[in-house]
Amino acid sequence: MEKEVNHLMKLYRYIACKFWGPFFFALGIFTTLVVLGDIFEKMKNLSNGTTTVWDLLTYAAATFPNWLTTIVPVACLLAAISVISEMVANGEWTACVAGGFAPKDLFKPIIVCILIVVAGTMLVQEFIVPGLNLKADEIYYTRIKPQENFNPHAETNVAIKISPEQMLFAKQVDAVRGVMNQVSLDTYNKQWEISTQIIAQEMRWDKQAHHWMFKNGIERTFLSDMDTTEVSFEEKEAPFTTPPNKMVVSKAEDKLLSIRDLTTKVNFYRQSGLAHYTAETARQSKLATPFVTVIMCLLGMPFAISTRRKSKILNIIVSFVIAFAFWWLISMFTSVGQNGYINPFVAGWGPVLFFAAAVWAEFKWLKL
């Protein structure tokens, strides 16, 4: 029994070792092509007088991990198909099956390798990519395509529903600094007519009081359609108590945020009475990403068994067809979900469930 286990482990290590060569080769080639294409597209900005070659290189370095995580599913799929097709072409697959191994047993070490890659990718997406994306935006909007007063942590024209009768409007919100500029707090009566309005130059988070404070403003009371009173103030406590670290109002796209940031954003939007289906769709799509990679590979791996002749070109074609089919369906579901036409959970997990059913049917049909 122990001898059989040792043979099995040796076989699994042998198959696993064959996975990493094609994986890193595909990952390096595809990522390099994408990054170079992005650099060449931005080289047209070299003539603007502010952009240098160093700016382009640092921008490419900051965006590299994001491109890397995007290419990983295709690299995993190509590596998995390459391992199996090579074993089939060399007669190793037939020998293993004749020795009593079921095809699904031979899939296990490849799946383990894929899971290792997926775990690493998730860590990079959560803890490395968001920060580097902010750095990339800073380089792009200050050096490559400069924007006046660019602040990656600030958002303009923000509206927040504080309560059923109160709306807060801000010209600019910087959650990192805990500052809102040109603020208006409108309070409405039961007929949804404005009853009071506070206009302030600034609203700042007081760390000691754990409260937002209006700075340099006026409080206007509407007594009737033609009669109002105004009282000036230098400082006044605001009814808004959400701390800045619970707010997500940066310029970063939802797809570039971490799951943790998206969770904060969804909770903040819910609390503020704002539509949150766009952020929720992005969050569910990110949560489904690990399953997408595994299912994509499971969908393509049985195809390699039927390939009796080793063909790298055919492997690449099959990998791209399956990957683009996945991405097309995911993009379609995501777009519909972000526009609020379907539930965000359906938008995020729908493609996973669809292709999981396809994998189950494929394995059932091929009796794997």
What are 174-215's pLDDT values in tens digits? 888 899 999 999 998 887 788 899 999 999 999 888 889 999
Strand order in the sheet with 166-174: 154-163, 166-174, 179-188, 194-206, 211-222, 228-237
Compute CA 311 distance to the chain's CA centroid, rounded to the nearest angstrom. Answer: 34
Residues 43, 304: Cα–Cα separation, whole Å: 41
Tell me the C-alpha to C-alpha distance, in Å, between residue 345 and each of 80, 278, 335. Answer: 29, 11, 13
Residue 119, pLDDT > 90, answer: yes
Q: Is the dihedral of CA 100, 104, 105, 110 positive or negative?
A: positive
Predicted model pTM: 0.80
pLDDT digit string (tens) for 206-247?
Answer: 988 888 999 999 999 988 767 788 999 999 999 888 888 887
Composition of the chain by helix, strand, coil, percent to 5? 65, 15, 20
pLDDT digit string (tens) for 265-311?
Answer: 888 777 767 778 888 898 999 899 888 889 888 888 887 776 555 55
- Specify which residues 161 forms β-bridges with: 167
* Chain mean pLDDT for the chain: 85
Residue 115, pLDDT > 90, answer: yes
pLDDT digit string (tens) for 326-357?
Answer: 888 888 888 888 888 889 999 999 989 998 99
Residue 154, pLDDT > 70, answer: yes
